[in-house]
Structure 1
Amino acid sequence: MKKNPTIPITSNKRLLAILVGIAFILLVPLVAMQFTDEVKWTFFDFIAAAVLLFSSGLALELILQKVKTTRSRFIAGAVVCIALMLVWAELAVGIFGTPFAGN
């Protein structure tokens, strides 16, 4: 019998992938700030974005570990992604008009 050649992705590898993904996402505004005055992020902006992305990544990891069916994983993952986008948009431009709005 042949062994399955695919290597399962462990939780540690996924956590590392989450951290590397966050670093690359945060590099986009950092590099943009070097070339244009249109992007003006402060240290707090980077921290807030990192916390949002890391918490969303951990929530997705938890969903992958605990939820068994593909349909339920998709729905739960979509809810996490939509929540991330809504919070990000509120912090950026204030779509709901909360005191945390960025405009």
Structure 2
Amino acid sequence: MITITQKQKTRYIFGVPVVLLVIAFFGNLFIEGWNWSFFDFIIATILLFGVALIIHLVIKSKKAFMTKLIACTIILLIFLLIWIELAVGLFGSPFVGS
């Protein structure tokens, strides 16, 4: 049985945003039509690391596993709705990206 330490969990949680931002950076360099500005990268960094921090705090809490799972699912759904809104304007707010 493999056990994951708290330090490893923290690395994984904060490693995912780093990997996603590196993919976005290289996508911006090499894929035609991928036109992120510096401001887009700042917003993506704030969103990704903010979600990672909140999930990290939820996982470290003393709540039951199911409560943590539900909380993380809700956090990720809210994140996805914000990301989609900023990208394509799902709700028609003034922050629409395209």
Work out whether the TM-score is over 0.5: yes
What letter corresponds to residue 96 of structure 1 in structure 2? F
Cα distance, 1:31 vs structure 2: 1.1
Aligned equivalents of 2:57, 2:32: Cα separation in 1? 38
Deviation at 1:14, TM superposition (A): 3.8
| TM-score normalised per structure 2 | 0.86
The alignment yields a C-alpha RMSD, in angstroms, of 1.8
Q: Give the gaps of 5 or more residues in structure 1.
A: none
Gaps of 5+ in 2: none
Higher radius of gyration, 1 or 2? 1
- Please give the per-residue CA displacement for 1:7-61, whole angstroms capped at 9, x wherever unaligned: 6523x54444333321110111211122222100011111101100111111111
Aligned equivalent of 1:9: 5
Could you tell me which residue of structure 1 aligns to residue 88 of structure 2?
Answer: 93
SS of the equivalent of 2:95 reads coil
Identity fraction in percent? 31
